[in-house]
Amino acid sequence: MISVNRLNSSPNNCNEKVIVAFIDSSWSNETKKGLEEGLWCNINEQPNQIDDDQNGFTDDIYGWDFIDKGQIKFMSLNDLSHGDLVIKNYIDSVQKHTGNESRYEIMLLRVMNEDGVCKNSDIISAIRYAEENGAQICNLSISTYHDDDELRATIEASEMLFVVAAGNESENLDGDFPSYPTKYKLKNAISVAALDETGRLLETSNYGKNSVDVGALGVIEDESIIAEGTSFSAPKVTAMATILYSCNPNCDAIEIKKELLLNVKKKRVLKNKLITEGLLDEDDI
Ligand SMILES: [Ca+2]
Ligand SMILES: [Ca+2]
């Protein structure tokens, strides 16, 4: 077990708020209500149909909807959406460490439609928006089959840390199967496979001893919800990165990634499957 403020000389400096961008699908009113002050707000923007801060986005208060090209609208859904489940898993993980004390501000950027389809151009625009508005971490519980120089260059040039789902096609990404941004293997990105409670790869999870960094629990079990996949293991790693950033606000993405990977617990069953051959669990940091 490593102290989370290991990179920092003053151990009590663990209250810095971290802005975390979720580039994902839609979100429900329920999620909005649960977030309360954990929701990022653009303080220079009012809901008045005027682009008050002149950033090119009118009334971008909580982020931006790149599909409908407007402000984020919260849905009244009976079933939680992909975006809701991603945030639920993130918050559950952060709160294991911090209780109700809020360490994060969540910025919402919608790029994926109801059929799970997203365009690279929207992902790129969302990344740029996140960067321009101060996000430190970008959670990408999405992947694309389309190799795109601009997507690669946008991530590579960013100062943010990217936590990326490895995808759910049961494929070894060291081979030809396309899954981006995982296959770009960038210094400021961590690719995450999905594991079950025993630390084994889920049957559906992609992997690759030269492509996928680490595993994390990718199963959500609740009284009413059951979902699994790399979309839900990625936000657990995002949660751990949030805690590290909040204790070490002067660290850059590469240092946070390095520190995170020092906390990996190796597993024999992950040998030759993942770069680190191990998993990240919030109980270990
Ligand atoms: Ca604006
Ligand atoms: Ca406005």
Every domain of the chain and the residues it spans: 18-284
Q: What is the mean pLDDT of residues 44-54?
A: 96
Centroid of ligand 2 to alpha carbon of 42 (angstroms) = 10
- Band of residue 252 on the pLDDT scale cut at 50, 70, 90: very high
- pTM metric for this prediction: 0.95
Nearest CA to 257 out of 187, 180, 156, 165 is that of: 187
- Band of residue 36 on the pLDDT scale cut at 50, 70, 90: confident
- Between CA 214 and CA 154 the distance in angstroms is 23
Paired tokens of 120: 């690279």
At 112-144, the pLDDT tens digits run 998 889 999 999 999 999 999 999 999 999 999
Residues 247, 13: contact at Cβ < 8 Å? yes
Centroid of ligand 1 to alpha carbon of 116 (angstroms) = 27
At position 100, the amino acid (one-letter code) is N
- Between CA 154 and CA 151 the distance in angstroms is 5
Give the right CATH number for 18-284 from 3.40.50.200, 3.50.40.10, 3.40.50.300, 3.90.550.10: 3.40.50.200
Look at residue 193 in the predicted model and tell me its pLDDT.
Answer: 98
Q: What is the mean pLDDT of residues 96-106?
A: 83
Look at residue 197 in the predicted model and tell me its pLDDT.
Answer: 93
Centroid of ligand 1 to alpha carbon of 153 (angstroms) = 25
Q: Ligand 1 (ion): which residues have CB within 5 A? A: 45, 51, 53, 55, 57, 60
Look at residue 1 in the predicted model and tell me its pLDDT.
Answer: 42
Helix (H) or strand (E) holding 155, with range, is helix 149-157
Higher pLDDT, 273 or 97: 273
- Band of residue 9 on the pLDDT scale cut at 50, 70, 90: very low
Centroid of ligand 2 to alpha carbon of 49 (angstroms) = 5
